Structure 1
Amino acid sequence: MKMLYKAIIFDLDNTLLNFELCERQAILGALEDCAVSLDLNGISETIFLQVFETYNSQYWRQQEIFSPSELIEMSYRSTLAQLDIQTDQISNISQSFWHIFNHSGVMEPDVNEVLTVLSHNYRLAVITNGFVSAQLPRMQAAGIEHFFEAVVVSEAIGFAKPSPEIFHHALSRLDLRPGEVLYVGDSLTHDYAGAMQVNIDFCYYNRKNQVLPQGVQPKFIVNQLLNLQDFLD
């Protein structure tokens, strides 16, 4: 059954952009920028990334207390200490991380093609949790920012998904009602939960083919963005 939507709103990270690959580029690229060689220290990239991610996820829980730059610096400091890698460049590494990350636009498969096709028939927008200084330049780096009429970033409006306010904000920017839009995202906690609260139809981008928890019923499920066209005209 074809649905008659006026707009399609996308999540950004792990829906349009591949967050993991963008982050990986930044984590390793910053070391290279500051002449910290993992090879010379006998550490594989995989091990470094695993240790970094462990600290990083712990520290980001304290984002009410520390700035993003401080959190990244703490993650590097702890990782380098645990792996016994000596450097006096930690604050430079952290700055380099942000520079690389904020300009890294590694996309999910087929994004350009999908947006090009959909933009002929639908108004397009983005709702993303994150920082304006990161999300907008990353969309520009990927070359996709021109597709979107509205880009709503949580930092700019003071509400993050799944809170209904960020969805209402996007609807008012587009001057549309909930029934006139489809929301596409990869997160059941942020995207699905948020869309459900405001009665917006949700398409779950199940990029890793995960089994859905009991009771979770998105309107549509795709594991490739190209398949969006199957139920849109």
Structure 2
Amino acid sequence: MKYDIIIFDADETLFDFKKTERVALRDTMLEFNVDYNEAEHLNIYKEINTAIWKELEDGRITQNQLKVERFSRFLGKLNYNIEASIFGKAYMNHLAKGSYLFKDSVELVENLSNGFKLMIITNGLKSVQEHRIKKSIIADYFESIIVSEEVGVSKPDPKIFEIALRTYNIDKKKILIVGDSLTSDIQGGINYGIDTCWFNPHQKENSYGIKPTYEIYSLSELTNIVNKSR
């Protein structure tokens, strides 16, 4: 068997984070009595949030700073006089409630758990991921779930892989990471020296020059890849 361990990213790989984000932002805005306009507010937030998580990947901001700064920028852009830290806490409370899996996730994880050791490594905040992922219906299939805030380092830093795998005496050639982000999951796997599988359901153009070992457009394709490796 080529692979013994399969590492998954969580959000937008197994979990539908876009839905979680959409519902959480709506419910938070309504909590603060804001007349919510999804077309306007969600697009502004996503643009700001994507940029600030990239800053985290690049080491230009800490996760503690991120918690408040993204909402400081968001509320400032909209000229709303709401305390960013209070808004941020309310948003994370709503975000933690949203554990939505993609339709193929459960079947895939169940099948793979019979022949492989499974892990999750996710860039995220402990208070959010604790509920969304660690208490999800698929959590028990994973030997470990590593949340970046808990361990103090984020993908693509190879240290997060070292932490996740420190109890395993295993050849890196027997490890595969699966994720939707080229700059986080795939670059992280490359940095650590393991095979990578880019989950690209929307068939986005790869404009980063980052070369995954495999590219798949549906989760079901992963089963074929790992079974061929046996």
TM-score category, normalised to shorter length: 0.7 to 0.9
| 1:180 pairs with one of 142, 161, 174 | 174
Between 59-68 and 149-158, the greater mean CA deviation after superposition: 59-68
| 1:120 pairs with one of 86, 110, 114 | 114
| 2:41 pairs with one of 48, 66, 86 | 48
Change (3 A) 1:143 1:47: same
Change (3 A) 1:99 1:113: same
Kindly report which structure 2 residues correspond to 1:1-233, keeping only aligned pairs within 5 A, or say none. 4-38=2-36, 44-57=37-50, 61=55, 63-64=61-62, 67-81=65-79, 93-140=87-134, 142-213=136-207, 216-233=210-227
Cα distance, 1:101 vs structure 2: 0.8
Unaligned stretches of 5+ in structure 2? none
Cα distance, 1:12 vs structure 2: 1.3
Native 8 Å contact 2:48 2:70 kept in 1? no
Indicate the SS of the match to 2:27: helix
Q: Quick one: which amino acid aligns to residue 110 of structure 2?
A: T
Q: Quick one: which amino acid aligns to residue 30 of structure 2?
A: E
Determine the C-alpha separation between the residues in 2 that align with 1:227 and 1:159: 30
Native 8 Å contact 2:186 2:198 kept in 1? yes
Between 88-97 and 107-116, the greater mean CA deviation after superposition: 88-97
Native 8 Å contact 1:56 1:75 kept in 2? no
Between 121-130 and 140-149, the greater mean CA deviation after superposition: 140-149
Q: Quick one: which amino acid aligns to residue 95 of structure 2?
A: F
Native 8 Å contact 2:93 2:128 kept in 1? no
Q: Quick one: which amino acid aligns to residue 198 of structure 2?
A: Y
The TM-score, its normalising length taken from structure 2, stands at 0.83
Q: How many residues align?
A: 222
The TM-score, its normalising length taken from structure 1, stands at 0.82
1:17-57, Cα deviation, whole Å (9 max, x unpaired)? 2222211111111122333333xxxxx31112123334445
Cα distance, 1:111 vs structure 2: 0.6
Cα distance, 1:80 vs structure 2: 4.0
Indicate the SS of the match to 2:133: helix
Indicate the SS of the match to 1:35: coil
**Sequence identity, in percent?**
28
Determine the C-alpha separation between the residues in 2 that align with 1:66 and 1:127: 19
Q: Quick one: which amino acid aligns to residue 34 of structure 1?
A: F
1:42-79, Cα deviation, whole Å (9 max, x unpaired)? xx311121233344456664744963442254145324
Unaligned stretches of 5+ in structure 1? 39-43
Cα distance, 1:6 vs structure 2: 1.2
Structure label with greater radius of gyration = 1
1:59-118, Cα deviation, whole Å (9 max, x unpaired)? 66474496344225414532442xxx6x76876543321101122112233111110111
1:127-175, Cα deviation, whole Å (9 max, x unpaired)? 1112222222211454221111011222222221111211122222344
Determine the C-alpha separation between the residues in 1 that align with 2:130 and 2:72: 25
